A and B are shown apart, each in its own frame.
Chain A
Amino acid sequence: MAKYFSRTNVSKGLPRPPIGPLVGGQLMKGARAGSVHRAQDTVVGLSARIVARQSLAGDAWLVANTDPEDPAPATRTYPDATTWRTVMRPNVELTPGCCLRLGVTALPSGHTQQSDGAAGFESSGAFGKVRASLTWTDADGGTDTTTNEVSISASTQQYAATRTGEWEAWPDACFQRSALIYPDDTLSDITVLRKWSRPPINVTGTIDHLGGARPIDVVLYEVPLAQAMEVDDTSDEWVAHFWDLGPGNFVAGPPRWPREYNVAGPDGDPRGIHHLMDVHHAQALRLGPMIFSWSAWRESDADVTAIAEAYASNSSTTFLHLTDKNITAWSADAPGWAMGCGGYARRQLDNGEFVYRNGAGSPMIASIPILVRTYGYVEAGSSGGTLRLQTAAHNYAECTITRTSAGWDSHVCHLRCGLNPEQQVIAVPLWKSLTASKYVRLLYAQAYYCATEPAA
């Protein structure tokens, strides 16, 4: 019979267990050991990782300020009310025990248009939405989907315009969040909660705009929720100790150590010292920072009549910067993604005391394994395209894209990062086509710490 442990996760800081009472010669007490176990439980609750972000880029809104029905018959100057515009695609391994939430900062929405039944267009009302449409894949390959929308209020100005007086957009900007996003039955069925607690859990999908939405910033982020494990689950899947049992309604394990808890199973009782060691290594394997997410969407370049995903394109066979083609080589001054948070995931394996010589008694640099996911394609007949992330003259990783229709590719990389964000290390994106006159296109890219096999 399956036996579960469960807990709810909340962000309340990490209690730092005292070491002094645990050193040799001290009397062991349950509370002293328990403080260590309890600390392992709080790590997941500290996640606020932003797994995808799409913000206003461009110097004008897609959604205009003009009369949608003038002149008559009106031309198509507004998006329609039913076609979602995909502006971002997340594809990440979720921190086990977390759900997601969508936060939207936006100006009041503008008009939409529909056919007037003849040759022109007419208003179909002012409204806008942002949604996250996600597919969740569990460790066994099972899937579920979620769709969550945030409605943005309509502008009350003439033609549902934005106000144009000095700084008038500021008081009009509103911030709204979706409900917590997790698969159905997660909080009502412990078997479902356990399914979405065992790593790796992959979340992929789209973030979309609809109608007259005028988003300034859209952020999809992790929120600590709850987790459950079954006692026979593999030891490297336990990213929490399950020592302090949260106020959930599920089957509770023993509340205090060293009470016996007899379980017949191949892994025995996941408690005590062995479990302490396993959780430590599972956390090192499974938990780490999200480094960046990137979208090629530019609001002012979008076309209301052809709602297609935006891309960056390059047919040069020599490296150019991904976002600024005037830059043709790596430079410490070139724009790129900050790698500083990678230093918080330094492993003993890559960054131990003897890995980097500590000439002055302290480490001087760090490096971590990351998984880079690219969503792009190359023109038919091309042998491929290369995206290079370069952090120094000597340090770079290359991601090759060979697919000829848009899709995801995953790339294992080892990149330099700062010891913490104070040490400036920037991953500069350079890219090129491997075949002359054939383009490579990139729509989205993401990168995060990954020390073990990601979800399929």
Chain B
Amino acid sequence: MTVPDYEWGEAKWGTFFWGGYAAPVAGEQGYVPNAKPDTVFLSKSPGGAMASQREIDLTNQGTYGEETSSGRTAITCPRCLEVQVVMDTTGAPDGGMLVDHSGVAGGAQTYALSVSNIGAPTAIFYQDDGQLGSLAIPTSGTADRVMLLWATEPNILTTGAGDAVRSEVWIYNYSSGVFAHTVFTHAMPTTDSGFTFTVGANNGGASAFSGSIERVRISEQFHDNEEYFQDWLGTTVAPTLTGETRLEGLLPTVASGFGDDGQFMHVHAPAAAAVRKNDLRLASPLVNEVYLDADEWVQDFAPDEWAKYPPGVTPAERGAQPFKFMLPYLRWCPVADCYNSVQVRVQVQNYTDGGTIRKLDIRCYVMSRRPVIGGLLNPGDPPPSLEYYWVDANTSTDHTSSGTGEYLDLGISKLTKDRDHGGVWLCLAAEIYSGTADTDARYKIKAWSVEPVPVDPADGTGTPDDFTIGTP
């Protein structure tokens, strides 16, 4: 993994465009993508030149940087410390203090993060003059680039003051590509806006870090592993989506005062915007199953009584061994009124007991009722109509009998509903395409998921073109 080459600058709140000779990228926050609303300190050296919106440099003390009476970094929880260093992690490991916020040298700290080089290099986490935890740094060589994250958040499982805070630590060694990770709980630290913030040494300059510090960021929010990864280690390509997405709407809190009498802000408009997609707030998987020791199925899917041709599928249409519904994968699922489509994925393992590997085709049927009429009808009553859709995907890969398998993305299917019960019937069907019976073909279904994805059929992009509808 390479280090992203970020530029540093002074984009600020309200900056609409900030750039130099290079064309800016639409939507980027100027050239300081890692200076965020919660960033209180961002620097690329212990000398402390600021690179975020808070244009307050540290005092450069040569081997370290400091800020006395550092109220901005007097943060208890939530909080995040991120430090990138280059250090020897092997023969003679580097060590010393990375970040410290304390009143006096060696005194109680709001927080302190150091590297011990007694034995293998280890990150040590302190507060209130006590050690909270430690984590071995993944080792590789004499000049390893290492990224450390220590984030705190309120512990929602707290049982008292002693575990009011949850700390999560991640360390990544770029050279080896290895992560280390730990979680611990502890009490809320004590802080003081008069404390000194020091980078690269203890308060006062002792225990200077013997490696080199490349980046430091102090934030007043908890950062999880994903944010840590996207900020420092790599970025994910934005997906192309046809279905709706939802992000919590922005609305001030009562404590902000914006909703008080005499305030200018009109709360109803942003509240209306915020609530418009709350129909997705509770959207949960209809199916999300992983099977312990998944069963091995054969081409003809046995036992016989569990298999059935789906509506519209016949040997004449598909060949000797066409799709068959598999009873163990028949599901009834309640569905809220606001969803019109589902995303289906099936994890399969396709292999052979001898002979040629065959194409395994998996379909998911979405039905308004079971495809047979169970139970009695009144004389003369027609069976209720069956509305159904299906999506499918296939693989011809030989995953071998001990292999992992692969995920088949069946795509998005329209949703129908069981009008009697307010739900939908789902069932998987499989076909091993060989033209003739093949007693050696094997497959497993090890996991599958069906999740609601509302799409707007009017926008021209949300309706997959392979829907099939019919009645048996």
Contact = CB atoms under 8 A, between A and B. Distances in A.
Interface stretch (B64-72, B133-141, B268-276): B268-276
A277 B409 contact: no
B398 to A, nearest CB: 14
17 contacts: A22-B268, A36-B272, A39-B272, A43-B278, A170-B371, A171-B373, A172-B374, A281-B251, A298-B292, A335-B294, A354-B37, A357-B28, A357-B230, A416-B226, A420-B243, A421-B285, A426-B407
Contact of B330 (A173, A290, A327): A173
Interface stretch (B84-92, B186-194, B352-360, B445-453): B445-453
B281 interface: yes
Interface stretch (A53-61, A77-85, A116-124, A132-140): A53-61
Given A49-B282, A396-B181, A421 B226 contact: no
A76 interface: no
User: Which 4 pairs across A and B sit closest by C-beta, in order of nearness?
Assistant: A361-B27, A338-B449, A414-B224, A421-B451
B254 interface: yes
Interface string A360-373: 11111111000100
A361 B29 CA distance: 10
A189 interface: no
B118 interface: no
A171 B305 contact: no
Interface string B287-306: 11111111110000001111
A277 B251 contact: yes
A336 B238 contact: no
Contacts, number: 403
B266 A24 contact: yes
A23 interface: yes
A350 interface: yes
A342 B294 CA distance: 26
B44 interface: no
Contacts of A450: 156
A2 interface: no
Interface stretch (A9-17, A141-149, A201-209, A248-256): A9-17
Contacts of A364: 230, 235-239
Given A17-B276, A171-B374, A356-B230, A394 B345 contact: no
Interface string B189-212: 000000000000000000000000
Interface residues of A, number: 141
Contacts of A327: 404
Interface of B: 25-29, 33, 36-37, 155-158, 166, 168, 172, 179, 181, 183, 221, 224-227, 229-231, 233-239, 241-254, 259, 266-269, 271-276, 278-296, 303-309, 325, 327-328, 330-338, 343, 345, 347, 370-375, 402-407, 409, 412, 421-423, 446-447, 449, 451-453
A453 B227 contact: no
B343 A174 contact: no
A276 B181 contact: no
Contacts of A363: 238, 245, 247
A391 B336 CA distance: 28
Given A222-B334, A277-B259, 16 more contacts: A14-B278, A22-B269, A39-B275, A50-B285, A55-B331, A219-B334, A280-B251, A324-B404, A334-B405, A341-B283, A343-B246, A360-B27, A362-B238, A395-B225, A422-B241, A453-B158
Contact of B405 (A57, A219, A335, A423): A335
Interface string A403-417: 000000010101110
Given A173-B330, A216-B328, A327-B404, A414 B225 contact: yes
Contact of B282 (A47, A217, A420): A47
A398 B135 CA distance: 15
B290 A454 contact: no
Query: By CB atoms of chain A within 10 A, which of B25, B259, B288 has the most?
Result: B288
Interface stretch (A157-165, A180-188, A431-439): A157-165
A365 B273 contact: no
A63 interface: no
Contacts of A95: 282
A452 interface: yes
B304 A164 contact: yes
Contacts of B36: 354-355
